[in-house]
Structure 1
Amino acid sequence: MEIGTFIYIALLVLLVWFGYSRLRPAKGLITLKSNEFKSEIEQSKNRLLLDVREQNEYKRGYIPSAKNIPLSQLEQRLGEIPMEQNILLYCQSGMRSKNAARVLQKNGYTRLAHLQGGVSTWSGKLTRS
């Protein structure tokens, strides 16, 4: 096999692995559709609704009662997130909330769910500030 072919195959494998690692669901993370997420918000008494978008995105419209801790600040602000509560995560499209779940899992959080497709799929009320 030529060296160029070997390098091409190695790069292709690396690209596929990188894509898979970014898109795969976090183990133990419950993925909820918009109507299921809304039901969980309404029915769960012991929960924290967490918006992991940046503050400027949050101000444009957020789910009522959501706490904003951007993904970029999450590790520094873990003390604001109670471990004993159900954590309901959302972002704009669902990607950052998956990444936030990975950060939380790495730090011992286990009761995690996120909104599939993010707030862009949300059919409920949004609050603007």
Structure 2
Amino acid sequence: MRTEEEGIPQWDVEEMEKAVKDEETVIVDIREPDEYEEGHIPGVPLLPMSEVPERIEEMDKEKTHVFICRSGRRSQNVAKFARENGFERVVNFSGGMLTWDGELKTGEEKRIKETKELYRT
């Protein structure tokens, strides 16, 4: 069920399950590395919230970006920040990883070192 909060679309688990399979949607986990390593959606890269401001200009404004955190609060703030920086297609995973009931992977899988690594080629 799609809703909106503060002008940002909010996706639930069902929509996230579809997004994980969609090669055009860019899903970004913005939690801290230790949170990510405890469990994350397989294939979803980690870009900690603290690094977003320094990388925002390198991100592709033409793509849809879905931001994930533990509960949906931090990712909502990152989505608003992206919107303020010219991104029109941003989404928050409402409820965050607390609501994710799909597959999880542990450990450091995909920590972003270069912004281009966010994008599947």
TM-score (norm 1): 0.74
* Structure with a larger share of its residues in helix: 1
Q: Distance in 1 between matches of 2:15 and 2:39?
A: 20
What residue is the counterpart of 2:35 in the other structure?
A: 57
**Where does structure 2 lack aligned partners over 5 or more consecutive residues?**
108-121
Shift of 1:40: 2.3
- Aligned counterparts, 1:113-128, within 5 A: 113-128=91-106
Q: Distance in 2 between matches of 1:99 and 1:49?
A: 15
1:11-39 CA distances to partner (integer Å, 9 max, x unpaired)?
A: xxxxxxxxxxxxx9231x21111112111
- Secondary structure at the residue paired with 1:87? strand
- Partner amino acid, structure 2, of 1:41: V
What residue is the counterpart of 2:5 in the other structure?
A: 25
1:16-67 CA distances to partner (integer Å, 9 max, x unpaired)?
A: xxxxxxxx9231x21111112111222x321211001011111111111212
Identity in percent: 29
Over the residues paired in the alignment, what is the CA RMSD in angstroms? 1.6
Number of equivalences: 104
**Where does structure 1 lack aligned partners over 5 or more consecutive residues?**
1-23
Q: 2:82 aligned to 90, 104, 111, which one?
A: 104
Q: Distance in 2 between matches of 1:90 and 1:80?
A: 19
Mapped pair 1:34 → 2:13? yes
Shift of 1:80: 4.7
TM-score (norm 2): 0.78
